[in-house]
Amino acid sequence: MTAFTPVASLVGGVLIGVASVLLMLFHGRIMGATGILTGAFLPTSAGDRGWRIAILAGMASAPVACKLVTGGMPALDVPIGSAALIVGGVLVGVGVTLSGGCTSGHGVCGMARLSPRSIVATLVFMAASFATVFVARHLLGAA
């Protein structure tokens, strides 16, 4: 069980939105985790890598920033084993590269622009996630 956290989740969502708007306002870029990560490894031009690494560093600083304010790291429980993490990680990597985005790029930024591609992508990956968890937990009996 995890507790329903409406206020923290809504405030967190608003911050994700604020970051997405700021990145478009200043850099003119989509706040997509997949695109920013991929471009940090495979930049399209010489000057294209720095801002991506800066954003990734900012992201990775967040748990410690939370700890400085609240006194504790954010809750992070992994109810699955290493094999599922590896299989899931590879599938996520292949999938987001083929579809050109993930929850942040398609689900937030693309949906906010009413991009038909992003709306289709988001409906498909959400449906696939619900189906996968149903199969894993209720048909195969995983935790």
Partner 1 sequence: MKLALGYLIGLVFGVGIALSGMINPAKVLNFFDLAGTWDPSLILVMGGALAVTAIGYRLVFGRDRPLIDDHFHLPKASAIDARLVGGSALFGIGWGTAGFCPGGALPAIGTGRPEVFIFIAALLVGILATRAVVDRRTATAAAARRT
Residue 105: exposure state from Cβ atoms within 10 A (0-12, 13-18, ≥19): buried
What is the size of the binding site for partner 1 (CB under 8 A)? 111
Output the smallest distance, CB 72 to partner 1, in A. 11
Give CA separation, 37 vs 10, 14, 49, 85, 103, in Å: 25, 22, 10, 19, 14
Output the smallest distance, CB 32 to partner 1, in A. 8
Does residue number 136 form part of the binding site for partner 1 (CB under 8 A)? yes
- The kind and range of the H/E element at 128 are helix 116-134
Structural contact between residues 30 and 105, judged by C-beta atoms closer than 8 angstroms: yes
Does residue number 51 form part of the binding site for partner 1 (CB under 8 A)? yes
Output the smallest distance, CB 119 to partner 1, in A. 9
Does residue number 49 form part of the binding site for partner 1 (CB under 8 A)? no
* Ranges within 69-128 binding partner 1 (CB under 8 A): 73-80, 82, 84-104, 106-113, 115-117, 120-122, 124-128
Cα–Cα dist 28/130, whole Å? 33
Does residue number 141 form part of the binding site for partner 1 (CB under 8 A)? no
